[in-house]
Structure 1
Amino acid sequence: MKLVVTGATGGVGSWIVDHFADEGHDVLGLDLERPSSERENATFLAADLTDQGQAWETVLEHDPDAMVHAAGIPRMGERTGTETFLTNVETTYHVFEAAGRTGADVVWTSSESLYGMPFAAEPFLPDYLPIDEDHPMRPEDGYGTSKLVGEELAAKTVRKHDVSVVSIRPSWVQYPGEYVATDESEAFDPATAEPAGHFWSYVDVRDVVSIVDAALEADVDGHEAYHAMAAENYLGRPTAETIEAVFGDLPEECALEGDQSAFSTAKARRDLNWEPAHSWREAETESVEGPAFLEK
């Protein structure tokens, strides 16, 4: 398969490039800068995908079978909200349009932030737990809103070009041996903790890679969205009890058991035959080599 991966030197994108290159696919990696090293089965090109001409030229010249779009500003707090929104929306618009014009199916990284809770000025509870892909979306920030607009662009691309687009909605991505989330959990006290709009959910980067792989393999018709979260929270505490202790309440409809994630991945299990394989309990101390082409 000929594959274009955007955000190829970023956290998630670099692991995606590594995986598909290992599988023997012909991968073109796009990012603002090329990596310091080469990689068998992968070539890299520096391109600013907020520029329509650069985005279209790189994609149309490569003529891929599929695209994985992982480029963009990954969270609030790195740039202004305005720049975050505009960068992510412009990049996504140009990438989707280029993919549609070349007939390439797309898998891209959306976010659980489009529901609105993670970056809300005043954190609020979901309508029900666990949260599924049909939950109302109420973002107030530039990042979450950029992902909501991105999914509308996905639907538009499907209508206009008759390709498929899969939106993956991961939670806080963690890397084996570098689980930042568990550093937070060591000092966690529900009596003093601040409300967390991701409800202490996370996902291992390797599980993000595997759901991208599953989505590309699946016969998806149109636009579909799927959660990508670990099966449990990263605190090692009962999820419902923790949410109630920190937020002071629970939704009327709550069907969480033990440390079960606040986000359901049942749709991905049903449609993609995917489920998370990694837990913080083993992964936080695992020694796993990341993409070698990023080494200085």
Structure 2
Amino acid sequence: MTVLVTGATGGAGSWIVERLARDGTDVVGADLERPPRTRERVTFLEADLTDQGQTWELMHTYEPDAVVHFAAIPRVGLTSGTKTFTTNVESTYHVFDAAGQVGADVVWASSNCVYGSVFAEEPWLPPSFPIDERQPRRPEDPYGTSKLVGEELGAMAARKHGIAVTSIRPCWITFPGSQKTAHARETFDPATADRSGNFWSYVDVRDVATMVQAALEQRSEGHEAYLAAAPNNYLGRPTADVIETVFGELPIECVLEGDQSAFTTRKARADLGWEAQHTWEETELETVDGPLFVD
């Protein structure tokens, strides 16, 4: 099996490339720059996916069995909103259409930002907790909107070309050994904390990689979306209590126990047999070698 991975040298993309290659998959890794080192079973190429010609040539040259599309400007605040939106939408359109031309199924990185509250100027509460894939998608920022458009493009490509497109909606992606969750937890005071539209949720990058792999193996039909989240929040506090204190209220329907994540992965467990294996309690203290082909 050959899989084309876009964003192959990025934070999540490099871990996905490493996992696929380690498990015997031949990978074509595309990004704006090639990594400083090579990796067995991986061919690294430079490509600008906002250029339709480059994207089509890449796809038709290698004719992959599947595509993992993680190339994107990953959040707001890194460049202008216009560039964030147009880069993400153009590259996603080109990748999906080219994948359809060669009959390759797609697994790609959408985001829990499609619900809208994460990068909202004033984060709001959803209709109910826990949040699932059926809740309204109403982003008001260019990044979340680019991911919402991307999901619609995925549905279009599935209809047009008869391929399967799986949208993964990760929460904040964390990395083993990182102290970002520890710092956030240690400095958190619910009495003075700002509202978090992410509701203090996260997911380990290794669990994102296993969800990608599970979606590739599932080979479903049409377009489906799945949330990716760790089972708990990273504060070590009861989730509902924190939300109520910071936001001043809870939605009428709130079924959260203890430090349970505000985002449920019930659908991924049922359809993909996937479940997060890593939580902050262990990962903050882990020393794990990341992909060795990147710095």
Structure 2-normalised TM-score? 0.99
Kindly state the Cα deviation for residue 285 of structure 1 after the two structures are TM-superposed.
Answer: 1.1
Q: Tell me, in whole angstroms, the C-alpha distance in 2 between the residues paired with 1:194 and 1:121.
A: 11
Match of 2:23 in 1: 23
1:193 paired with 2:193, answer yes
Equivalences, count: 295
Deviation at 1:181, TM superposition (A): 2.2
Q: Which amino acid aligns with 1:244?
A: E
1:277 alignment counterpart: 277
Measure, in 2, the Cα distance between the counterparts of 1:202 and 1:272.
19
CA distance in 2, matches of 1:43, 1:140: 38
Structure 1 counterpart of 2:114, one-letter code: L
Q: Distance in 1 between matches of 2:5 and 2:219?
A: 20
Q: Tell me, in whole angstroms, the C-alpha distance in 2 between the residues paired with 1:207 and 1:139.
A: 25
- The match for 2:50 is 50
How far apart, CA to CA, are the structure 2 residues paired with 1:160 and 1:181? Answer: 42
Residue identity opposite 2:70 in structure 1: A
Alignment of 1:108-187 (within 5 A): 108-187=108-187
- What is the SS of the residue equivalent to 1:85? helix
Q: Which runs of 5+ in 2 are unaligned?
A: none
- Amino acid in the other structure paired with 2:10: G
Deviation at 1:60, TM superposition (A): 1.2
Q: Could you say which residue in structure 1 is the equivalent of 2:104?
A: 104
- 3-state SS in 2 of match to 1:13: helix
What runs of 5+ residues in structure 1 fail to find an aligned partner?
A: none
Asked if structure 1 preserves the Cα contact closer than 8 Å seen for 2:9 and 2:294, the reply is yes
- Counterpart of 2:183, as a letter, is D
Measure how far apart 1:183 and its partner are.
Answer: 1.3
Q: Deviations over 1:173-227 (max 9, x none)?
A: 0000014122111110000000000000000000000000000111311100000
1:58 and 1:167 map into 2 onto residues whose CA distance is: 22
Equivalent AA in structure 2 for residue 276 of structure 1: A
Letter in 2 for 1:291: P
Give the letter for the 1:63 counterpart.
E
Question: C-alpha distance in 1, partners of 2:96/2:223?
Answer: 12
**Contact 2:239–2:262 (Cα < 8 Å) also in 1:** yes
3-state secondary structure, aligned to 1:293: coil
Contact 2:133 2:227 in 1 (8 A): yes
The one-character-per-residue Cα deviations of 1:124-176 (angstroms, maximum 9, x if unpaired) are 00110000000001100000000000000000000100000000000000000
Matched, 1:222 2:202: no
Alignment match, 1:87: 87
- Residue 208 of structure 2 aligns with an amino acid whose one-letter code is V
Runs of 4+ in 1 over 4 A off after TM superposition: none
* Cα separation, 2, equivalents of 1:219 and 1:26: 18
* Contact 1:179-1:280 at 8 Å conserved across structures: no
- 1:241 paired with 2:241, answer yes
Separation (CA, whole Å) in 2 of partners of 1:159 and 1:24:
31
Q: Is the 8 A contact 1:179 1:283 kept in 2?
A: no
Alpha-carbon displacement from aligned partner over 1:88-119 (angstroms, at most 9, x marks no partner): 00010000001000000000010000000000
State percent identity of aligned pairs. 62
> Shift in Å at residue 25 of structure 1?
1.1
1:261-291 Cα distance to aligned partner (Å, 9 max, x none): 0001000000000110000000011010000
Q: Give the Cα separation in 1 of the matches to 2:107 and 2:67.
A: 6
